[in-house]
Structure 1
Amino acid sequence: MAVSFLPCFLILCLFPGISFTHAESGMIGVNYGRIANNLPSPKNVVNLLKSQGISRIKIYDTDKNVLTALANSGIKVIVALPNELLSSASSNQSFADNWIQTNVASHSPATEIEAIAVGNEVFVDPKNTTPYLVPAMKNIHTSLVKHNLDKAIKISSPVALSALANSYPPSSGSFKPELIEPVIKPMLDLLQMTSSYLMVNAYPFFAYSANADKISLDYALFQENAGNIDSGTGLKYNSLFDAQLDAVYAAMSAVGFNDVKVMVTETGWPSVGDENEIGANEPNAAAYNGGLVKRVLTGNGTPLRPREPLNVYLFALFNENQKPGPTSERNYGLFYPNEGKVYDVPFTARSTFPVNGKGDEVPVSTWCVSNGEMARDRLQAALDYACGEGGADCRPIQPGATCYHPETLEAHASYAFNSYYQKNARGVGTCYFGGAAHVVTQPPRFGKCEFPIGP
């Protein structure tokens, strides 16, 4: 198929987006909340996720439309059993079996469900669902075993930091005494037995906003700072995030669980807040999320657990206009509902990760390829732009040239998109093409054609 050079969308073909990257040292995912009446369709959201290289998301239910849209996308997902179902799941094994069959097994393996969050911040649920948590987790796990899914799908339950009685210094971290015997120990025992991890929701913003006179903003935002020394261990902390995680590790150790891993299932910083929400603004949100991504992908673990990689889910994908509470609750999104960025977090895969102008370069080889699910006319139009006004080197995909075969639109578009991407130094938004392209971390192969990588 010869490449045509028809007029296209000019720069409107491109949407400057965030490139999420997976590295050996840690993993970044994103929470896809939907408490809003103006969000894109699940199918469009999946295209957005793929175009940005986001390979992991977490949702707060098992919505059929979302799980169907995720099928065969390569995006892994954490689903949730809502708090209001904990009582039924804890007291009735048949209910748990039916829930797993309907909401999990029926979507697997096309939709890659990798974990189930049983409840969410149950200890602060005003409906007092805490007594149901561990029995519900056990019944859900039993159901996974029945469906031979227990090896592929983990179970856990996101815990807010309010479950801690002490968190400073980190070495003094401890759980609230009234939670330890009834729920903390049995839950950690189950997580240990099933080789799962404790899900933790950690928000340095809350600690900073409530104690701005005592906590350095630079310390909260991963900026250069003098750090804090833990008097109990002598360890130095340069970020509030690390200190919060180590308080959780110390609390688990205090009740006899030293080998359970931690996953941060929520963390973020609001871009807008009420007058009394100190620090809620776009520059701080960009600095926090940018610093966190750099921290996860280029650093090791925490001072207390230096060999444990940090696995983190940012909150959230979109601003959600129907969330109750203070203004900040509706303004944690990386994107507006129209898919425009709220602020710039430079998550390019080649990334220099600048935070307020600072950052070290982290070389990661990546390529840009076409989205095979894109409609052919839109894919062709994006190809035309790349080879025309975009200035991509499309000579190798002309008839008789080295990369003309395979003669498919997808192969030719991938070559052109990658040429444009590498030419533009893998910059933010240079692998989008209106959703027709996405970033990959393995060199693409179409026949014998080799895809170049830029300087």
Structure 2
Amino acid sequence: MALARFLVVLLLGAPLLLFSCAEAGEVGVSYGRVASNLPQDQAQVAKLLKDNGITKVRIYDTDRDVLLSLANTGIKVMVMLPNDDLARGVARTLPSALDWVRNNVAAYLPATKITGIAVGNEVFHERSDLNPQLVQFMTNVQAALAQLGLADTVKVTTPIAFSAIVDSFPPSKGRFLDNIADSVMRPMLQFLQQTGSFLAINLYPYIAELDNPTQIRNDYALGNYAAGVPADGVTYHSLLDAQLDATYAAMAKLGFSDSRRRLAGSRGVKVSVTETGRPSRGKVHGGRRLMAAGDGGDSITVANAQTYNNYVINRVLAGNTGTPQHPDADMDVFIFALFNENGKAGGEMEQNFGLFYPDMTKVYQFDFHGGPTETWCVANPAVGDARLQAALDFACGQGGADCSAIQPGANCFQPDTKAAHASYAFNDYYRRKGRAPGTCDFNGAASIVNRAPDICWSWCVANAAVGPARLQAALDFACGHGADCSAIQPGAKCFKPDTKVDHATYALNSFYQNKGRAAGMCDFNGVGSVVYQPQKVGNCVLPPSSA
């Protein structure tokens, strides 16, 4: 990935604004095969990946059939040297590593686009007896690649579990376990920095949610907690971001930073999330389902799996990869997993992480093609009123934002706080700039979020009590007079639930937003009413604006 590019804009009479632009990361899928019922024809699996826009895949071995099926597809592949092979001596010496690389990597290049080798997986957790030798294993594999002229093409890393990091909240306290920090992680980070590779980490926010059901909200684990959690002078709307910043903090304590900080002269190592995901069904803790704080029901559901994985996929594809403490960071991700795997140990929950059932039908809807996703720009109250006011003055002045609605007596004047007014102005500026990278920074006073914030938003909803005839009449009118009703057509993403009141709510809200939420635009002869809390139709979040 390219290093961050910085654009400094100095306008007469306005504060100096530093805009940062992060190149979009990449999102792929982990293809585990611990199952008895998966497709046997690997060419069909390769076609499934291509048809669904999946451009990266991680496998947990170097299976010949899988690697041959991915030849000439353009799909990037990360292969793995399994823990058991490490324990048997593969990569213990340079000659053994050379044999393995020659037979399991070089033999498939360049037709199969192997770009990474995972030397083991969660070794600290699964095979701690290998800890003292792990970096040497990585070094031997790297040397083998160099001998074969592949060191610039294929990067070597080893995925670690998040359990390798302790004191992870607030994120600034994050540090590596004492028994691996200096003995393993420091030389590993030196190796990754010297070879231009990346720190691989497996992050599962749902685990923290299930382990702390009274402390961690479900919407926070899903990545869409609108109110957020304050920590270290910023606000976290996503537990994934907090875990990433804890990872960066642990690296910094050993003298390393994320790769984008190289511009400041420090030693940079990029972080890649080699596994993240959420199960769609299952029971935990002795068969007892856990319910998370802020959740209206069971936390392990198809809807929650869909929400989390789509949040990650859409966020990465949209380029919104930074964190509150590292807004210019990249974030490459592998979603776990491609298929449900009936052979996984751990029961029903472990066996239901798949995006697809073994018959290759989707467990729920998702899209890797990089379609449009809505984002908002909000103020960070932690910077203080003075910085908020300076940025607010710029947005409403030279920035060209329409701030008429936050003037005294206007619709969005209340609440009369710097943060509320700044969020309104920042978001208007951000929208007018086409949500371009770097247009939501304001010298650190703002950040991008992927859920609708409370910025004087309102929604139009249908009243089921009026009956199906009046609901249908209002629905027909809205769809015929400017509402975008394509999403509620049969088979479209918001068609379910297929009820009059849900379809009418979607259509009435679209009409209302397109009319600028003007007075009287959510009446429909008594069918519609205005509400001030975010609304959903099934799994579809209703947009709070027409842009």
Alignment TM-score > 0.5, same fold: yes
Q: Is the 8 A contact 1:34 1:320 kept in 2?
A: yes
- Check 1:192–1:272 CA distance in 2 against 1; reply closer, same or farther (3 A cut): same
* Identity value in percent: 45
The residue type equivalent to 2:71 in the other structure is A
Structure 1 stretches lacking a partner, 5+ long: 1-22, 355-359, 365-423, 429-455
Shift of 1:300: 3.6
Q: Is the 8 A contact 2:53 2:368 kept in 1?
A: no
Q: Map 1:365-380 to 2 at 5 A.
A: none
The residue type equivalent to 1:253 in the other structure is A
- Distance in 2, matches of 1:127 and 1:215, equals 29
Secondary structure of residue in 1 paired with 2:272: strand
Q: Is the 8 A contact 1:72 1:110 kept in 2?
A: yes
- Distance in 2, matches of 1:311 and 1:229, equals 25
**Cα deviation per residue 1:317-343 (whole Å; 9 max; x = unaligned)?**
000010111321100000000001111
Q: Is the 8 A contact 1:351 1:363 kept in 2?
A: no
**Cα deviation per residue 1:331-365 (whole Å; 9 max; x = unaligned)?**
000000000111123555434479xxxxx99999x
- Distance in 2, matches of 1:139 and 1:182, equals 18
- Check 1:348–1:99 CA distance in 2 against 1; reply closer, same or farther (3 A cut): closer
Residue of structure 2 in register with 1:334 after alignment: 355
Q: Map 1:181-196 to 2 at 5 A.
A: 181-196=182-197
- Distance in 2, matches of 1:348 and 1:242, equals 23
| More off after superposition, 290-299 vs 98-107 | 290-299
Q: Is the 8 A contact 2:52 2:367 kept in 1?
A: no
Q: Map 1:14-413 to 2 at 5 A.
A: 24-40=23-39, 41-87=41-87, 88-126=89-127, 128-230=129-231, 233-258=232-257, 259-274=268-283, 275-278=287-290, 279-298=299-318, 299-347=320-368, 349-352=370-373
| More off after superposition, 28-37 vs 86-95 | 86-95
- Check 1:342–1:249 CA distance in 2 against 1; reply closer, same or farther (3 A cut): same
Residue of structure 1 in register with 2:9 after alignment: none
Secondary structure of residue in 2 paired with 1:313: strand
Shift of 1:36: 0.7
Q: Is the 8 A contact 1:347 1:353 kept in 2?
A: no
Shift of 1:86: 1.8
**Cα deviation per residue 1:393-421 (whole Å; 9 max; x = unaligned)?**
xxxxxxxxxxxxxxxxxxxxxxxxxxxxx
Secondary structure of residue in 2 paired with 1:328: coil
- Distance in 1, matches of 2:361 and 2:322, equals 32
Shift of 1:224: 3.8
- Check 1:239–1:107 CA distance in 2 against 1; reply closer, same or farther (3 A cut): same
- Distance in 1, matches of 2:372 and 2:289, equals 31
Q: TM-score, normalization: structure 1?
A: 0.71
Secondary structure of residue in 1 paired with 2:256: coil
Shift of 1:304: 1.6
Shift of 1:166: 1.4
> Taking CA–CA contacts closer than 8 Å with sequence separation of 6 or more, which of the two structures ends up with the larger relative contact order?
1
Secondary structure of residue in 2 paired with 1:312: strand
The residue type equivalent to 1:34 in the other structure is R
The residue type equivalent to 1:271 in the other structure is S
- Distance in 1, matches of 2:367 and 2:49, equals 16
Q: Is the 8 A contact 1:174 1:254 kept in 2?
A: yes
Q: Is the 8 A contact 2:192 2:199 kept in 1?
A: yes
Secondary structure of residue in 2 paired with 1:128: helix
Residue of structure 1 in register with 2:407 after alignment: none
- Distance in 2, matches of 1:190 and 1:348, equals 34
- Distance in 2, matches of 1:240 and 1:352, equals 20
- Check 1:126–1:118 CA distance in 2 against 1; reply closer, same or farther (3 A cut): closer
- Distance in 2, matches of 1:427 and 1:152, equals 41
Residue of structure 1 in register with 2:517 after alignment: none
Secondary structure of residue in 1 paired with 2:97: helix
Secondary structure of residue in 2 paired with 1:334: coil
Once superposed, which parts of structure 1, at least 4 consecutive aligned residues long, lie more than 4 Å away? Answer: 360-364
Q: Is the 8 A contact 1:293 1:347 kept in 2?
A: yes
- Distance in 2, matches of 1:246 and 1:197, equals 16
Secondary structure of residue in 1 paired with 2:28: strand
- Distance in 1, matches of 2:196 and 2:130, equals 25
- Higher CA-based Rg: 2
- Check 1:326–1:166 CA distance in 2 against 1; reply closer, same or farther (3 A cut): farther
- Distance in 1, matches of 2:98 and 2:367, equals 43
Secondary structure of residue in 1 paired with 2:96: helix
- Check 1:95–1:209 CA distance in 2 against 1; reply closer, same or farther (3 A cut): same
Residue of structure 1 in register with 2:446 after alignment: none
- Check 1:325–1:103 CA distance in 2 against 1; reply closer, same or farther (3 A cut): same
Secondary structure of residue in 1 paired with 2:350: helix
- Check 1:50–1:177 CA distance in 2 against 1; reply closer, same or farther (3 A cut): same
Residue of structure 1 in register with 2:396 after alignment: none
Q: Is the 8 A contact 1:60 1:80 kept in 2?
A: yes
**Cα deviation per residue 1:370-407 (whole Å; 9 max; x = unaligned)?**
xxxxxxxxxxxxxxxxxxxxxxxxxxxxxxxxxxxxxx
Shift of 1:309: 1.7
Shift of 1:91: 2.7
Q: Is the 8 A contact 1:346 1:353 kept in 2?
A: no
**Cα deviation per residue 1:13-68 (whole Å; 9 max; x = unaligned)?**
xxxxxxxxxx9422110001000111112111001001111110000000011001
Q: TM-score, normalization: structure 2?
A: 0.59
Residue of structure 1 in register with 2:11 after alignment: none
- Check 1:132–1:90 CA distance in 2 against 1; reply closer, same or farther (3 A cut): farther
**Cα deviation per residue 1:196-220 (whole Å; 9 max; x = unaligned)?**
1000000001000111111111111
- Distance in 1, matches of 2:223 and 2:123, equals 29
- Check 1:346–1:105 CA distance in 2 against 1; reply closer, same or farther (3 A cut): closer
- Check 1:324–1:353 CA distance in 2 against 1; reply closer, same or farther (3 A cut): farther
What do you get for the CA RMSD once the two structures are aligned? 2.3
Structure 2 stretches lacking a partner, 5+ long: 1-21, 258-267, 291-298, 376-429, 437-488, 494-547
